[in-house]
Amino acid sequence: MSEMSTTAVVLAAGKGTRMHSAKPKVLQTILNEPMLYYVYAALAPLFRENILTVIGHGAEMVESAFPEKKDSFVIQEEQLGTGHALQVAWDAVKKNGATHCLVINGDTPLVTVEALDRLTSVTGCCDLAFMTITPKDVGTFGRVVRDEDRRITSIVEAKDFDMNIHGPITGEVNAGIYLLKIETIEPLLDALKNENASGEYYITDLVALAVERGLSVDGVQCGDDISLMGINSPRELVVAENTLRRQTVDELIDAGVLIHNPDTVTIGPGVTVEPGAEIFGHCEIYGASYVKAGARLGSYTYITDSTFETGCNVKQFCHIEGAGVGPDCVVGPYARLRPGAVLKRGARVGNFVEIKKAVLGEGAKASHLTYLGDADVGAGANIGAGTITCNYDGKNKFTTVIGEGAFIGSNTALVAPVSVGRDALVGAGSTITKDVPEAGGAIARGKQININRRLKKSD
């Protein structure tokens, strides 16, 4: 790639009818990330910011999913085929001053940097080059047609393929990744026609046009490489997701992460897990999560965008989003940490406890049946079962502050804004609406009245 400058064009305007979804095909998720995310990840090391994306169906949704790409989107108002999509993007391609253009379908999430580098490195001298595969099932992929001397003559879309005209099916199909020499291919774009079963302008027709005009055409054969397969149906999406899931899990195991029942564990592409961490079956970990060595994540736990320090123990059936779990903390089982939850060293959150936008200081405990929202809980504080912070008045959120060493009795309602001082004690069943002073005590509940009941004996 060093001898030529290349602009990448991602074709992402299609509807993806066979996905049976209101979302554009390129936004269908794999490991909790849009399919297009993976294409960008493969392109980035080779092209940096020199990437254009043609969008059309659901354009606003695609723009919203990738706001950082807003200046590189090209709108295809009418979806008239892949050839038309390239025509729409061509002016932007030339503005970049590149000599070559790599075109890739946005529905190839398994594509690797190595595959793209192979195409750009091996075929830089060609006018047109593309990658081919020989899958077990050729399905609806475009067929590669060669003459008796094995020279490529054309690519024919599946619905237009006729064995009487194009010869027997060889099993070699188009992978949807092309490298075009801009200077020589530009005249061919205007020659594209839509005389086919779909009435669309196919980028694949550039191959036959190039051959007719004596340009050099090459096909990079990649065997049955599944990484180049396009995704057109829910079944293919599931196969791709399982492939990536297994690759990720295997790489982590080989690196020193202990993963029990690995066939059931799902870890997203943005997750970092250090060697020495331990993950149990049926965990799902996504986003920018970070799991440090010595952390333990229990079965059936869902995690996104959270960090776990050395020595922490997350028990089974927890749901954790945007949280930070400190060293030697214990979470769960059946706990929920929502965005902004921070547990400092040795803090404990037990079953059926929900923490939202709250900090638990070192050694603080909320062991059962508690809601702490918009709260700051000091080190060593004990939160009794059934305690809730009443942080919302129907319009605004307010903060509750609980000092170090404070003891909150069971079934207490803390009506924010309110503070409980250091080493203070709140009696069980209280509704606290005023600040409690340091080392003080507070109780706020109705007076107990015992009623003398005289029960008649049954006859």
Residue 448 in domain: no
Q: What are phi and psi of 137, to 5 degrees?
A: -120, 115
| Helix/strand number for the chain, H first, E second | 8, 37
41 annotated binding-site participant: no
Residue 449 in domain: no
202 annotated binding-site participant: no
Both 222 and 371 in one domain: the answer is no
Q: Which domain holds residue 78?
A: 6-228
Both 247 and 101 in one domain: the answer is no
- The mean-pLDDT minimum among 51-65, 164-178, 258-272 falls in 164-178
Provide the annotated active-site residues: 368
State the CATH number of the domain containing residue 246.
2.160.10.10
Both 314 and 198 in one domain: the answer is no
Which of 228, 250, 273 is a domain's end point?
228
Residues in the chain: 459
State the CATH number of the domain containing residue 205.
3.90.550.10
Round to whole Å and give the CA distance between 423 and 417: 19
Residue 384 in domain: yes
14 annotated binding-site participant: yes
Both 177 and 247 in one domain: the answer is no
Round to whole Å and give the CA distance between 318 and 340: 16
CB 372 within 8 A of CB 386: no
Residues 6+ apart with CB under 8 A from 425: 406, 407, 409, 440, 441, 442
Residue 133 in domain: yes
176 annotated binding-site participant: no
Percent pLDDT > 90 in the chain is: 76
Domains in the chain, number: 2
- Is residue 253 scored above 70 in pLDDT? yes
pLDDT value of residue 201 = 93
Both 166 and 241 in one domain: the answer is no
Both 118 and 167 in one domain: the answer is yes
Both 91 and 170 in one domain: the answer is yes
Question: What pTM was computed for the model?
Answer: 0.90
190 annotated binding-site participant: no
pLDDT value of residue 123 = 58
Q: Which of 268, 312, 307, 313 is nearest to 290 (CA)?
A: 307
Reported as a pLDDT band with limits 50, 70 and 90, residue 164 is: low
Reported as a pLDDT band with limits 50, 70 and 90, residue 243 is: very high
Both 39 and 147 in one domain: the answer is yes
Q: What is the pLDDT of residues 30-76, one digit of tens each?
A: 999 999 999 999 999 999 878 999 999 999 999 999 999 999 999 99
Reported as a pLDDT band with limits 50, 70 and 90, residue 2 is: very low
Q: What is the pLDDT of residues 303-333, one digit of tens each?
A: 999 999 999 999 999 999 999 999 999 999 9
Both 290 and 360 in one domain: the answer is yes
Both 39 and 176 in one domain: the answer is yes
Which of 228, 246, 267 is a domain's end point?
228
Both 210 and 313 in one domain: the answer is no
Residue 457 in domain: no
Both 276 and 219 in one domain: the answer is no
Residue 76 in domain: yes
Cα(first)–Cα(last) distance of the chain, in Å? 101
286 annotated binding-site participant: no
Which of 228, 261, 276 is a domain's end point?
228
